[in-house]
C-alpha cells in the first residue's frame, strides 16, 4: 500500500528547503562548491522518472527547465548538469548543477567527488538573493507545456 | 545562423547507431561495462534541454521514459541513471545507464571512471537482441503525452 510522501532522511540532512512547486520540494544542496538544486516530486514510492504519471513527468520537466535556465542565468554557468541518478538515495530527485569550465572536478561529474563544503551564513543569504527571482517564479506555478 | 544537425565527432566515435526516433538519434555507448544508451535530439546548436522548444522537450521526455523503462526491463537493473551533462561534449545528449548494485563504480557515477571496454562481436549481437523490442517501439514512434 502506498504511503504518504516523506522526504528521504539523507536528502533532509544534506539539503536546505527552498520551498515547493506544484509538484516538487525544492532543496539546495548544502555545498558552496557549485550552485546545486534538487527537485523532489512529492509522490510516494517513486524511484524513476518513468514511474510518474505522464502529467507529472511533464510537470517535472517544465519545472526543471525553468529552474535550470534560471540558475544558469543567475550564476553565469558554462554548462548545466541535469541528472536523476539515485544510486545512494533511491527516492526520485532531479539534480541541477551549474558548472563552469575549470570548476572543482571539471569536466567530470561532481557526485562523490569530495565532502560537501557547507555555506557560511552570509554566503547563503547572498546565494539565495541571486536565486530569488527564479524561486519566486517556480513557487508561483509553472504550466506543464 | 543555425546550421543543420550534425552528430558531434566525439559521440560519433564513442557510440554505435541504433536508429532514430522522431526527434533523436539513438546511440549505444560502446562500453560493455553497463547498458548505456544515448538520445541525441536532431536539432542544431542545442546544449541544454531548456533550449529545446516545449514540444521537443516533451517529446524527448516521452522517448527517454520509454527507453529507460525498456532498458530496465531488458537488463534487470536496480536503478536507472538519466543525465544530461555535456561537460565534455556540449551537444545535448541524454544518457540512460542501467545500474546494478555492486556493478563497476557502484554507487558512484560512471562518467570518466575508466576507459570504455568495447563490445565483442557476438556480445554486441546478444545485447541488441535483448534491446530489440524497446528499439522497435521507440523507432515506430512515441506520442509526447
Q: Phi/psi of residue A96, each to 5°?
A: -130, 115
B58 at A interface, C-beta within 8 A: yes
B106 at A interface, C-beta within 8 A: yes
pTM: 0.96
- Rounded CA-CA distance B94/A82 in Å is 9
**Average pLDDT of span B29-55:** 98
- Rounded CA-CA distance A12/A93 in Å is 12
Cβ-contact A21, A86 below 8 angstroms: no
Cell of B136: 522497435
Task: Name every chain A residue with its beta carbon within 8 A of the beta carbon of B55.
Answer: 145
Chosen from B41, B60, B61 to mutate, greatest number of chain A CBs within 10 A:
B61
- Rounded CA-CA distance B58/A90 in Å is 24
Output the pLDDT for position A1: 47
**Segment B77-110, tens digit of pLDDT:** 999 999 999 999 999 999 999 999 999 999 999 9
- Rounded CA-CA distance A40/A34 in Å is 19
Task: Name the residue ranges covered by the structural domains of chain B.
Answer: 2-105+116-140
**Segment A124-145, tens digit of pLDDT:** 999 999 999 999 999 999 887 6
Output the pLDDT for position B145: 65
Output the pLDDT for position B41: 98
Q: Which fold has domain B2-105+116-140?
A: HIT family, subunit A (3.30.428)
Look-up: residue for cell 552570509? A122
B24 CB neighbour count, 10 Å cutoff: 24
Task: Name every chain B residue with its beta carbon within 8 A of the beta carbon of A58.
Answer: 58, 61, 145
Considering only CB atoms, B107 lies closest to which of A49, A68, A87, namely: A87
Instruction: Provide the β-strand partners of residue A38.
Output: A27, A95
Ranges in chain A, pLDDT < 50: 1
- Rounded CA-CA distance A1/A20 in Å is 25
Amino acid at each position: 500500500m502506498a504511503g504518504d510522501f516523506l522526504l528521504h532522511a539523507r536528502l533532509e540532512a544534506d539539503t536546505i528547503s527552498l520551498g515547493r512547486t506544484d509538484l516538487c520540494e525544492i532543496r539546495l544542496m548544502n555545498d558552496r562548491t557549485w550552485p546545486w538544486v534538487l527537485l523532489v516530486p512529492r509522490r510516494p514510492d517513486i524511484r524513476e522518472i518513468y514511474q510518474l504519471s505522464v502529467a507529472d513527468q511533464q510537470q517535472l520537466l517544465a519545472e526543471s527547465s525553468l529552474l535550470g535556465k534560471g540558475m544558469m542565468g543567475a550564476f553565469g554557468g558554462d554548462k548545466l548538469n541535469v541528472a536523476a541518478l539515485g544510486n545512494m538515495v533511491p527516492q526520485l530527485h532531479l539534480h541541477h548543477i551549474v558548472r563552469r569550465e575549470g570548476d572543482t572536478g571539471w569536466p567530470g561529474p561532481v557526485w562523490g567527488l569530495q565532502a560537501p563544503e557547507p555555506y557560511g551564513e552570509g554566503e547563503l543569504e547572498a546565494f539565495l538573493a541571486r536565486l530569488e527571482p527564479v524561486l519566486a517564479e517556480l513557487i508561483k506555478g509553472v504550466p506543464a507545456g
